[in-house]
Amino acid sequence: MSSVAEIRPAVCPLDCPDTCSLSVTVQDEKIISIRGSKANPYTDNAICSKVARFYPDFVHGKQRLKYPMQRVGKRGADEFKRISWVQALDLVYEGFTDAINRYGGESVLGFNYAGPHGELAAGSLDRRFFNKLGATQLDRGPLCGGVRGGAYASLFGNSPGMPPEQAEVADLIVIWGNNATVSNLHLSRVVSKAQKNGCKLVVIDPKRIRIAERADLYMQIKPGTDVVLAMALAAEIERRGGLNKGFIDQWVDGAEEYLVQSRNYSRDDIEAICGLPLDQFDALADYYLKAQTVAVSIGNGIERGKSGGSGLRAAMALQALTGNFCKLGAGVIAKPGFAFPRTSDRLEGTDLLPDGVRTFNIVDISRLLLDESLEIPIKAMMIYNHNPIATHPDQQRMQKALSQESLFIVGCDVVMTDSMRYADVILPAASVFEIEDIYGSYGHNYLQRAESVIPLVGEALPNTEIFRRLATRFGINDEGFELTDKQLMDQAFADNDPRLQGYKPSEIPLNTAILMNTSGGEATIMCDTVMPDTPAGKIRLFDQELEAEYGYGVPRFEAIAPVSKFPYMIISPSSDDRTNATFGGSAESLVTQIVEIHPDDAAKCNVKQGDEVRIWNELGEVFFTVAVTDRVKAGVLYTPKGAWQATSRSGQTVNALMSADSRTDIMQGACYNDTFVAFEKAQ
Ligand code: SF4
C-alpha cells in the first residue's frame, strides 16, 4: 500500500541567480512533484518550468548514477561495470598517487565548475582535499561570470549591488543582455509590478526575448557592441547637459578620463556598429534623462565577446554619470553575493594549499591537457559539479583531451552526462534532495538552509561525504575533514555576524529565508548604506589595475575582424529547457536543437521553417532544425546553450563551433559569442 504524500521544504541549487525556495511532494521516498514555496519572499511560490518538469526524473530516472562504476570499454563509449565504494576509492587513490609519485601534486586537477550552488556541495571539503594534495588550482570565473564580476568590481569593489526587488519603485528599468524571463524569472515579476506603477522598461538584447515584448523600447543590438552604445550614450548625455555633476564630484573617480574616451563614440557608430536606428538611440537618451530613479539589470550576455568587459563597465558607468545611486530604486542590480558574510577561505581550507602551486584558467584546460611541453603535465583529474564536454568552447578539443588513455579521470555526478562517459571511475553524487546544505544566492539577498527530503538514492553520497572518504583513503588526518555538514555550514559564514540575525548558519530554520541587509540592518543602497569598496571609496571609472594588466583603464570597443567564409554570428543564451547543461539528458532536451534564423538570411540560403541545416566553421559542424523568425537580427543566429551531443547527428553541439583560445578584454574570459559560421540546408 502506498504511503501518504508529504510536502517537504527544499531550495533549488542550480546555477541560476534566483535560488528559489521549493515545496517537494514526496511519496514512498520518491519525489512526485516540485513546486515553488513562499518561504523565500522574493521567489514567492513561483519557479521555472524546467525544474518542475525535469527534476523528478533527474533524481529517479534512467540516467541516474546510483553506484560507483569502473570503465570497461573505450573512453566515451559508456561501458562501465558496477564496483563497490571501497574498490572505487582504491582506484582513485591508485590513479592519483601514481600521478603524484611521478610528477608531483600539481599533476592532479580538481576539474569543477558550478553544478550545485549549495555552499557545501559547491566548494568545501572538495577544495580542502585538492588543496591538501597540492593539486593545480583552477580559475573558474573565465568560463562564465568572471568578466561580469571583474567589471562590477572595477567600479564598486566588493560592495553588494542593488537587491532586485528595490527596482519595484524605479521609474525606468533597463534590462541589458539578461534574458530575464528564462534565467532571472523573478526579476520579470518585479518589472511587472514596477510597470503597474508607471515605470518605463527598456530592453537591450540581440534577441527579441520575451520580456522585450512588454518593453517601451526594445533595442536589437548587434552582439558584442554594447560598449559602443553605452559610451555613445554617455557622450550624448554629456552633450545634452545631463551629467549629474554634484554626484560625480562626490562619488565618482576617473570621470574625466572616462568622458574623454566616450567622446570618441559618435551617433554614426550607433547605426554602423551597433546596427541600431538613431531614433531608438535618441529615445533611450530621452528615457534616461527624464527618469528620476533608474535601475539597471546587466546580464552575463554582454560578457561573452571580446569587448565584453568594456560593455559591462560602460553600461554600469551610465548610472554613475547620471547619479542613479543613493536612493531606493536606483542602482545596478548585481552582486548581492557580497551581502552574505561568507568565509570562503575557511570553508575551502586555503591554508592547506602549499605555497607556489600553479593556477590554470579553466578555459585553457583542454589545450593544457594536450600540451606535451608542460613541465608538469596534468595526469589525473576529477570532473565534478561540471560537464565540460557540454559547456566549454571547442568541444572537439575537449573530447580529444579527455580521450587520452594516459590521463586518469575520476567522474562524479548525479546523472550520466557526456563528460562522465570519459571517466575511468565514476562516483555517484547525491542530488540536492538527498543532502543538507546552506544556500546564498547570486540573484537576491536571502540565505536559506535545507535538509534532505528523500533518502540517498542507491549508493549515491553527498559531495562532502565523498571527499571525507577520499581524505581517509589518502591517509589525510586533518581534523577539518572530520567535521559534520552542520559544522561545515557554521564555517561557511562569519561567526556572530549581525546579518545572520542571531542564528548559527546550521540552525537557520527550514522553510525560512533570512534577508541579508547591511551589518547595521539597513537595506542595501549604494552610496547611502553601502559605499563603493574601491581604493578612493568612490565609483571608479578609470581603473589603474585594469590599465596595467590589460590596457583597459577605461572601456573601449575592439572590432572583431570579419571572416568572409563565415558571415553569420551564432549566439547561444539560456533557454526554458535547461539550466546551462543540467537537464540536457531529459527526453525533451535530447532532440535536434532549434536555430533561429532571420527571414532574409533564410531566403538567401534557401532554407525554410522546419528544415534541417548544417552549420559549420573551421572547428566543427552541427545540425539544427530551422526556425525562421525576426526575433534575431539579420546576420545573427540563435540556438539555446547547454545541449548534449546526442542532439546533433554530427555528435557535436554549438560549443564545437566556438574557439577556446580567444579571450575577453579583461579577466581572460571565454568569447562564446564571437563565433562565426556558415550554414546550408542539410543533405
Ligand atoms: S532554476 Fe532558477 S528559477 Fe528555476 S527553480 Fe531553480 S532557482 Fe528557481
Q: Whose CA is closest to atom 5 on ligand 1?
A: 47
572 lines ligand 1 (CB under 6 A): no
Q: Classify residue 220 by burial, with Cβ atoms within 10 Å: 0-12, 13-18, 19+.
A: buried
Among 292, 43, 325, smallest CA distance to 188 is for 43
pLDDT digits 0-9 by tens, 250-308: 999 999 999 999 999 999 999 999 999 999 999 999 999 999 999 999 998 999 999 99
Q: Is the CB of 209 under 6 A from ligand 1?
A: no
Q: Is 541 in the pocket of ligand 1 (CB under 6 A)?
A: no
d(Cα 348, Cα 137) in Å, to the nearest integer? 12
Which of the four pLDDT bands, split at 50, 70 and 90, describes residue 52?
very high
| Mean pLDDT of the 8-33 span | 97
Residue 1 clears pLDDT 50, i.e. is over it: no
* Nearest atom in ligand 1 to 185's CA: 3
Q: Is residue 650 part of a domain?
A: yes
Question: 441 in ligand 1 pocket by Cβ < 6 Å?
Answer: no
Residue nearest to atom 7 of ligand 1 (CA): 19
pLDDT band at 56 (very low <50, low <70, confident <90, very high): very high
pLDDT single digits (tens) 215-254: 999 999 999 999 999 999 999 999 999 999 999 999 999 9
Q: Is 51 in the pocket of ligand 1 (CB under 6 A)?
A: yes
Q: Residues 351, 325: one domain?
A: no
Look at residue 143 and tell me whether its pLDDT is greater than 90.
yes
Indicate the average pLDDT of the chain. 97
Over residues 625-631, mean pLDDT: 98
Ligand 1 atom with least separation from CA of 22: 5
For residue 183, pLDDT beyond 90: no
Q: Measured between alpha carbons, how far apart are the two ends of the chain, in Å?
A: 55
Q: Residue 57, CB half-sphere, CA atoms under 13 Å: how many?
A: 15
User: Could you tell me if 168 and 253 lie in one domain?
Assistant: yes
Distance 14 CA to ligand 1 centre (A): 7
CB within 8 Å of 562: residues ≥ 6 apart:
676
Residue 48 placed within a domain: no
Q: Residue 189 above 60 pLDDT?
A: yes
Residue 276 lies in a domain: yes
Q: What is the pLDDT of residues 406-442, one digit of tens each?
A: 999 999 999 999 999 999 999 999 999 999 999 999 9
- Give the pTM: 0.97
Whether residues 587 and 665 fall in one domain: yes
- CB of residue 577 inside a 6 A radius of ligand 1: no
- Residue 215 Cα to ligand 1 midpoint, Å, equals 24
3-state DSSP assignment of residue 472: helix
Please give the tally of structural domains in the chain: 3
Q: Coil, strand, or helix at residue 409?
A: strand
Distance between CA atoms of residues 93 and 99, nearest Å: 10
Alpha-carbon gap, residue 290 to 599, rounded angstroms: 36
Supply 673's cell numbers.
559569442
How many angstroms is it from 10 CA to the middle of ligand 1?
12
- As a whole number of angstroms, the distance between CA 439 and CA 447 comes to 6
In a domain, 5, yes or no: no
Contact 59, 403 (CB under 8 A): no
Question: Is 626 in the same domain as 598?
Answer: yes
Domain that holds residue 359: 69-143+341-434+459-510
Both 348 and 484 in one domain: the answer is yes
Q: What number of other Cβ atoms are within 10 A of residue 64's Cβ?
A: 19
Judged against a pLDDT cut of 80, whether residue 585 lies above it is answered with yes
Greatest CA separation found in the chain? 76
Q: Is the CB of 211 under 6 A from ligand 1?
A: no
Q: Are residues 115 and 174 in the same domain?
A: no
- Using the mean position of ligand 1's atoms as its centre, give its distance from the Cα of residue 18 in Å: 6
Cβ distance 454 to 30 under 8 Å? yes
**112 and 191 in a common domain:** no
Which atom number of ligand 1 is nearest to the Cα of residue 579?
1
Residues 319 and 208 placed together within one structural domain of the fold: yes
Looking up residue 235, the CATH number of its domain turns out to be: 3.40.228.10
Q: Which positions ≥6 away from 283 have C-beta within 8 Å?
A: 217
CA of 407 to the centre of ligand 1 (A): 35
On whether residue 41 sits in a domain, the answer given is no
Looking at the structure, do residues 345 and 391 belong to the same domain, yes or no? yes
In this prediction, residues 645-653 reach a mean pLDDT of 97
152 occurs within a structural domain? no
2 band by pLDDT with thresholds 50, 70 and 90: low
338 pLDDT band (50/70/90 cuts)? very high
- pLDDT over 60 at 207, yes or no: yes
Question: Quick check: helix, strand or coil at residue 429?
Answer: strand
- Same domain for 300 and 275, yes or no, is yes
The rounded Å distance from CA 575 to ligand 1 centre is: 12
Cell of 165: 526587488
CA of 591 to the centre of ligand 1 (A): 23
Ligand 1, atom 3: closest residue by C-alpha: 48
Q: What pLDDT score does 679 carry?
A: 98
Hey, which of 11, 12, 34, 35 would you mutate to test ligand 1's pocket, going by the most ligand atoms within 8 Å of its Cβ? 12
DSSP one-letter code for 5: P
Which CATH number belongs to the domain containing residue 649 in this structure?
A: 2.40.40.20
Say yes or no: 618 and 665 in one domain: yes
Distance 19 CA to ligand 1 centre (A): 6
β-strand partners of 294: 172
Could you tell me the CATH number of the domain that includes residue 361? 3.40.50.740
Q: What is the dihedral of CA 375, 105, 357, 490, to 10 degrees?
A: 160
Does residue 365 fall inside a structural domain?
Answer: yes
Q: Please name the residue whose Cα sits nearest to atom 4 of ligand 1.
A: 48
The full length of the chain comes to: 683
Q: Give me ligand 1 centre to Cα 603, in Å.
A: 38
Q: Whose CA is nearest to atom 6 of ligand 1?
A: 12
Which of 23, 31, 185 to probe ligand 1 with, by most ligand atoms within 8 A of CB? Answer: 185
Mutate to test the pocket of ligand 1, among 11, 15, 18, 441 (most ligand atoms within 8 A of CB): 18
pLDDT digits (tens, 9 = 90+) for 506-530: 999 999 999 999 999 999 999 999 9
The reply to whether 300 and 173 lie within a common domain is yes
The residue written with cell numbers 567564409 in the block is 565
Residue that the C-alpha cell 566549454 belongs to? 392
Alpha-carbon distances of 219 from 171, 199, 277, 282, 631, rounded to whole Å: 19, 18, 9, 12, 11
Residue 37 lies in a domain: no
Distance CA 165, CA 178 (A): 16
- Ligand 1 centre to CA of 385 (Å) is 17
Residue 16 Cβ inside 6 Å of ligand 1? The answer reads yes
| Percentage with pLDDT > 90 across the chain | 96
| Residue whose CB lies within 8 A of the most ligand 1 atoms, among 31, 50, 580, 586, for a mutation test | 50
The number of angstroms, rounded, from the C-alpha of 595 to the middle of its chain's C-alpha atoms is 22
Distance in Å, CA 414 to ligand 1 centroid: 18
d(CA 618, CA 608): 25
Q: d(Cα 246, Cα 226) in Å, to the nearest integer?
A: 27
* Amino acid (1-letter code) at residue 438: I
Distance, in Å, from the CA atom of 324 to the CA atom of 448, rounded to the nearest integer, reads 31
Once rounded to an integer, what is the mean pLDDT over residues 499-507?
97
Residues 562-566 have a mean pLDDT of 89
